[in-house]
Copies of this chain bind each other. A is one copy, B any other.
Amino acid sequence: MIGDYQKRCQQRVDNCLGTLFSPPRPQLDRLYQAMRYSVMNGGKRVRPLLVYAACEALEGDVALADGAACAVELIHAYSLVHDDLPAMDDDDLRRGQPTTHKAFDEACAILAGDGLQSFAFEALARDPLNPTDPSLRLDMLASLARAAGPAGMVGGQAIDLGSVGLKLDRNALELMHRHKTGALIEVSVRLGALASGRADEQKLAALQQYAQAVGLAFQVQDDILDVESDTATLGKHQGADIARDKPTYPSLLGMDSAKTYALELRDLALEAVAPFGPSAEPLRQLACFIVERRS
């Protein structure tokens, strides 16, 4: 059932995203192609789904959340393009396809990533696809900028790169993930809630608690899949984290404890949204899906 919801969200955000990549002049064809290639790749769209599901949880109109859904996916896509670069994680495969710097070239991949980040902020700043209240949108823009920046996602990648080969303890690993993937997942939920026009401090706090648990669960499960899944299912090289001597939850806690921890985090997420009614059903199903997925 989350599969149907996911498919609907995926189609919805892909329809919006697909309109962004028409080059304004032929000299920019290649750059726009690289941007399109980096985004329109059959991605799972977990972050847009969180935007829409949070908006619906507060009984908002999802059409008001389209801008936010595009924005978080554009930030996510740009971060993957840059993280895959030779100077960073040096990955040649992403979602079963050559990474952007392999399909195009390194310079083009750097620029495509840079352009996607600008696009993300433009998606929230421009009129259509967003709530009309400009103060609300300024709040959304400030939240996204903070979550995407050095105090959030970019900082997480820096911490991650600084951790290779180090013996991280559980707190240090969690700090890295809270920045690297958690910040963008949290802000996805926040943006969806804000876009609904029906958020208050109490609801935002409950949703933040949900998002923190789900974000961490997502990462724990990713680490588990890196060990247990195979390259074909993952669409990226299985065992890549281990090969790089990166700290992971299974390596730190052992596989059984890592799996228990993922389930605990799912329960924390469900608890956080317990006060919400049936409108929060997609958020609940997503929390379950995240720890059950195989890729």
Judging by beta carbons under 8 Å apart, are A126 and B142 in contact? yes
Q: What is the interface of chain A mostly: helix, strand, loop, or mixed? A: helix
Judging by beta carbons under 8 Å apart, are A24 and B119 in contact? no
Query: Does chain B have a CB within 8 A of A114?
Result: yes
The distance from the CB of A87 to the nearest CB of chain B, in whole angstroms, is: 4
Query: Does chain B have a CB within 8 A of A213?
Result: no
- Within 8 Å CB of A252, what residues of B? none
Query: Does chain B have a CB within 8 A of A110?
Result: yes
A window 63-119: CB within 8 A of B: 78-79, 82, 85, 87-88, 105-108, 110-111, 113-115, 117-119
Task: List 7 A-B pairs, Cβ < 8 Å.
Answer: A114-B154, A117-B118, A118-B145, A118-B146, A121-B145, A122-B149, A134-B134
Given A28-B151, A30-B158, 12 additional A-B pairs, CB 8 A? A24-B151, A31-B154, A31-B155, A31-B158, A35-B150, A79-B114, A85-B110, A87-B106, A88-B110, A117-B118, A119-B150, A122-B142
- Chain A to chain B: the 7 pairs with minimum beta-carbon distance, closest first: A118-B149, A87-B106, A115-B150, A122-B145, A134-B134, A125-B142, A31-B158
